[in-house]
Chains A and B, each alone.
Chain A
Amino acid sequence: MKGFLIGVTLLLAAAGPAWAISDPAEALANPKQEARAEAIGRQLRCLVCQNESIEDSGADLARDLRRIVRQRVAAGDSDQQIIAWLVARYGNFVRLKPPFEWGTALLWGSPVLALLVAGGIAFAARQRHPAPPAPLDAAEQARLRSLLDS
């Protein structure tokens, strides 16, 4: 039993944390450039798996795209230039965060729309609330007291 526990502990220690799918050999030598490449890659969709970024995906195409992003970062392209290069080939679909345009107006506008609708309903509900009754005058107060006392 003790041997088994030691074995499991050693195995877990050997496994180490799995930070990302990317092979360390893919990473750029310059840590600043690598951080930029990762930040760009996280905004790009893997076209094979579709709901993972190319940084998270194990697909072949995602690996190729990671390599291209790194080559362009190393060559000094700006983030916008690199993303535009991919959008020219795969369309805005490659961006995990779609830009604001006519086709996505409803998507981006939906939180504002929801607030407007809720605000409208709350306002309408308030409008229809009857006004609070006027405060009691002296005669009414006297009558209320007499009723309460009896």
Chain B
Amino acid sequence: MNRRVLLLAPFAATVAAGAGFLAMLHRASDGQFDPHEVPSMLIGKHVPPFSLPGDPGFSDKDLSGRPILVNFFASWCVPCIEEAGMLMSLKQTGLPLYGIAYKDKPAATAAFLAEHGDPYARLAHDAPGRVAIDWGVTGVPESYLVDKDGIVRWRWVGPLTEDAVTGELQPMLRRYA
């Protein structure tokens, strides 16, 4: 009896580990699990203090009063082109979008917005990319939902997709409206 348990234990452990990996792969394939995802440290916290130039640009103090989606992007960023349509349709819903151009030249940003549409209520330039580091940005595009009290509630890495908007952003907006 004891011997049988000892012999079977490694097989049972292997089967359990295999089932675990299978579940992980399954969740990874439908987007529920991403091993590369870096969790945001800002969730539930106030936006870090900053002030960025633009025309007129904006600062952390402008991010309050109503929910705002802050979008880090760049004219040199290919996935940002993919995201442009989704941002334009978000603009139609009345959600204010504040854009931060990351490591970009103002003229290149302007040309990008002229070509792909300008969804932003306010636009600021973070040419050195220093403010992006305070937000914990790892790459563009990246979007942050800031609630009416200036607290970051949600972050999305990469281009905003239909699933991200309907599955995550809209429920967040209902909760923090």
Contact = CB atoms under 8 A, between A and B. Distances in A.
B38 A91 contact: yes
Given A47-B38, A60-B129, A93-B39, A121 B6 contact: yes
Contacts of A87: 41
Interface residues on A, range: 10 to 19
Given A60-B103, A68-B133, A90-B136, A128 B2 contact: yes
Interface residues on B, range: 10 to 19
A65 interface: yes
Given A89-B41, A91-B38, A128-B2, A48 B134 contact: no
Contacts of B20: none
Given A47-B38, A121-B6, A89 B129 contact: no
A61 B102 CA distance: 11
A50 interface: yes
Contacts of A112: none
B138 A47 contact: yes
A89 B133 contact: yes
Contacts of B128: 64
A146 to B, nearest CB: 40
Given A50-B36, A68-B133, A61 B41 contact: no
Nearest to B136: A89
A113 to B, nearest CB: 12
A68 B128 CA distance: 12
A64 B38 contact: no
A47 B103 CA distance: 17
A141 B57 CA distance: 103
A61 B139 contact: yes
A124 interface: yes
B26 interface: no
24 contacts: A47-B138, A47-B139, A48-B139, A50-B36, A60-B103, A61-B129, A61-B133, A61-B139, A64-B128, A65-B133, A87-B41, A89-B41, A89-B134, A89-B135, A89-B136, A90-B38, A90-B41, A90-B136, A90-B138, A91-B41, A91-B136, A93-B39, A124-B6, A128-B2
